[in-house]
Each structure stands twice: as C-alpha cells, then as structure tokens.
Amino acid sequence: MYTIKLLLQPCFIARFAASNNYKMKNTAPMINEDLGLLEIGLTGELKTIGVVSKEKRIDQDAPLRLKEAIFVKQNYRYHKIRCQDILYLKADGNYTCIYTTGKTYIIKYSLQAITSQFLDNEAFARVHRSFTINMQHLSSFNEAMAVIDGKEIPIGPNYKISFMKLFTS
C-alpha cells in the first residue's frame, strides 16, 4: 500500500529522509517537488536518475488556438469556439467563463492568460479586472458600463482610458 502511494504522489525529500521507521523493500522511481526523477535503493538511499523540465510538461486542459477559433476542453472533449462568436469573458478566480452566442464554457485558465495568448488584441478589449469583451458585439456604452447582447458589463476605472483609446486610433 505504501509503495503505490509513493509512486502516485510527489515525495518531499527532507520528510522522506527524516523518516527512520519506514524501510523500502523494492526500488521505485518517483518525482520530487523540484521535478527531479528519483530512485529509491534497496537500503532506502535516494539518488537522482533524471530531471523533468517544466517546459516539457503539457497542460492537458489548456485551450488550443487554430486560426480564428479556439478549442476549449469540456467533459473530456475539445469544443471549437469561433472567436467572432465570443461575446465576453468573465474571470472567476482561476477559472474563466466564456460567454458565446449559444453557450457558456467554463475553463480552468486565468482571464489574463486567455486574453494574452489566445485572443486577438484588436477584437477583444479588457474593460474590467474581471471582464474582457468582444468589440464586434458592443451595442452601446457609457463611462461606467458597456452593453453586449443586452448584458451590462462594468468598465473599471483602471481600464477606462485604454478602452476609450480604442475609438480614437
């Protein structure tokens, strides 16, 4: 039971080495908190046998970009969302809600990461700490609110100047 637990969970080396009452009977590789691949010898000694770089790790739930669309993972399947169909995006902690003309998607990705990596800067504008809007769907606005598809989106004071500059350039 303990061997399987060590294979599936990361091991903190200091805590493992301090444990004197636990003896390993088999050799088993595991990953520590620094992403190093370790091997436990028959006598319990630890030795590094490789390193896994952070760049090589793939975020399996990350959105994918293909020309004028993004693919987001929902229920173990990627769904295509055309960028022109996105009305607005709303941040909710580490999650982002993507509101489209037909459906709402919730992904575990920050709003900042989505807007900077996957969306076109000319078509989308950050208007609030929690909102990014699609400028093609903007119906009306005033100093405090933008209206998209009948929904009022607040315009934050820190984003008001950059939002207004979009209309002058």
What pTM does this model have? 0.62
* pLDDT higher than threshold 70 for residue 39: no
- 147 shares a domain with 74: yes
* pLDDT higher than threshold 50 for residue 124: yes
57-70: buried (b, 16+ CB within 10 Å) or exposed (e) per residue? eeeeebbeeeeeeb
Distance from C-alpha of 36 to C-alpha of 33, rounded to nearest angstrom = 7
Assign 3-class secondary structure to 30-76: EEECCCEEEEECCCCCEEEEEECCHHHCCCCCCCEEECCEEEEEECC
* pLDDT higher than threshold 70 for residue 42: no
- For residue 32, the enclosing domain spans 2-56
Quote the pLDDT of residue 50. Answer: 53
- Among 56, 82, 98, the domain boundary falls at 56
At 98, phi and psi to the nearest 5? Answer: -105, 115
More confident residue, 44 or 62: 62
- 89 shares a domain with 44: no
Quote the pLDDT of residue 51. Answer: 53
- 93 shares a domain with 21: no
Q: Which of 77, 76, 92, 85 is nearest to 128 (CA)?
A: 92
* pLDDT higher than threshold 80 for residue 28: no
Quote the pLDDT of residue 26. Answer: 43
